[in-house]
């Protein structure tokens, strides 16, 4: 197994600031917008973007939620491994709001489909957008595309993208892993 560095910590930081600026450009003060990090790994990206928007760009208030999609997945109960649910924390209304779903890697699109179904349990959003750090564009099973993307990666099916976050893994780095 070999791994190649796709993005260093510095490059990730630059991309996060670019994504934050794109969000600001489209949502201004975030009074009608909520950010929803998809469990388990999208939450680190969502929390980091929320922090950047507040601390570096002066956004006063951002509603940030964490969404578990385990029971909405189409592969739930299909594998031998039992899936473990994460917690959902959405303590605000999404009814009539613009929702930005946030995940670290967009691969087949199945997780996003599950998130679209799961978010409906919290109300009917006015609009839903997708932000992803890595877009594996040639691996899609469903017609889902991000509104905001950090980096597009042309990985073949045997390769996978491994995102490591300082908060969870001790460092910020993204690898392309080959078998």
**DSSP string for 57-104:** T-----EEEEE--GGG-TTTTTSSSPPPP---B--S--TTSEEEEEEE
- pTM summary value: 0.93
Q: Which among 31, 91, 86 has a CA at the least distance from the CA of 65?
A: 91
Q: What local confidence, expressed as pLDDT, does residue 83 receive?
A: 64
**Model pLDDT for residues 125-154, shown as the tens digit of each residue:** 999 999 999 999 888 899 999 999 999 998
How do the domains of the chain map onto residue ranges? 2-19+32-73+85-178
The yes/no answer on whether domain 2-19+32-73+85-178 falls in CATH 3.30.70.980 is no
Residue 8, φ and ψ in degrees, nearest 5: -85, 175
């Amino acid at each position: 197994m070999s791994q190649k560095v796709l993005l260093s910590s510095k490059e990730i930081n630059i991309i996060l600031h670019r994504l934050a600026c794109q969000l600001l450009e489209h949502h201004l003060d975030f009074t009608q917008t909520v950010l929803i990090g998809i469990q388990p790994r999208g939450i680190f990206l969502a929390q980091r973007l929320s922090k950047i928007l507040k601390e570096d760009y002066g956004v006063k208030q951002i509603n940030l939620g964490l969404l578990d999609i385990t029971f909405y997945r189409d592969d739930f109960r299909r594998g031998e491994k039992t899936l473990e649910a994460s917690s959902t924390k959405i303590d605000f209304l999404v009814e009539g709001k613009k929702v930005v779903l946030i995940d670290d890697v967009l691969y087949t699109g199945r997780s996003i489909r599950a998130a679209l179904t799961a978010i409906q349990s919290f109300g009917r959003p006015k609009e839903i957008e997708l932000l992803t750090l890595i877009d594996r564009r040639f691996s899609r099973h469903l017609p889902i595309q991000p509104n905001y993307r950090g980096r597009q990666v042309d990985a073949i099916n045997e390769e996978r993208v491994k995102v490591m976050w300082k908060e969870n893994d001790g460092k910020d780095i993204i690898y392309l892993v080959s078998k």
